[in-house]
Amino acid sequence: MIRQGNIIYINGPVVRADHVEDFMVREMVMVGEKKLIGEVVSLENNLGTIQVYEETSGLRIGEKVYGTGKPLSLKLGPGIIGNIFDGIERPLSKIYDSGFKFIPEGIGLVSIDEKKIWDVEMMVKPGDILKSGEIFAKIQETTIIVHKVMVPPGLKG
């Protein structure tokens, strides 16, 4: 089911939308036709206040706000070192290399090269029982940066 609301108010980076009773505070939302990145900062009945993290000029009353069901978050991992990002983790050098002098609204680029293969050193062997927070692998990104892969909170086995 697509959760969506309608923009009823715009004041700079602050947008209000109705019909968002199923949204959550801190939820990442896509705002308007350009799918600008925003975050729900307050909810009252079926009205929500949204902080938009991109330029809102051109946004219109009546455009849709789409809920993602996920909190606003950043992707961290190997490949992030040595890059330059803006506040919502858009890779600025990738944008510049694409020929843009300014950041286009709704560009939505992936910050980490998900196709790159990294050497992974496994710290466990088949049959080991692991618990939450335990390190089970390491990935060397640079000569001094090692990423430690851990069992997520609440998981074991």
Q: For 6-47, what is each residue's pLDDT tens digit?
A: 999 999 999 999 999 999 999 999 999 999 999 999 999 999
Tell whether 143 is covered by a domain. yes
Within 10 angstroms of residue 67's Cβ, the number of other Cβ atoms is 20
The answer on 63 and 14 residing in a single domain is yes
Q: What is the mean pLDDT of residues 82-100?
A: 81
Same-domain pairing of 67 and 93: no
Cα radius of gyration rounded to whole Å, the chain: 20
Burial zone of 84 (CB within 10 Å; 0-12 exposed, 13-18 middle, 19+ buried): exposed
Quick check: is 156 in a domain? no
The pLDDT value given to residue 33: 95
pLDDT at position 91, please?
80
Domain carrying residue 46: 4-71
Same domain, 110 and 53: no
- Does 78 share its domain with 89? yes
Cα–Cα distance between 121 and 41 in angstroms, integer? 41
Specify whether 112 is located in the same domain as 61.
Answer: no
Q: How many domains does the chain have?
A: 3
The answer to whether residue 157 is domain-embedded is no
Same domain, 92 and 62: no
List strands edge to edge, sheet with 135-140.
120-122, 135-140, 146-150
Dist CA 94 CA 56 (whole Å): 22
Half-sphere exposure of 62 (CA within 13 A, CB side): 1
Predicted TM-score (pTM) of the model is 0.74
Domain shared by 8 and 67, yes or no = yes
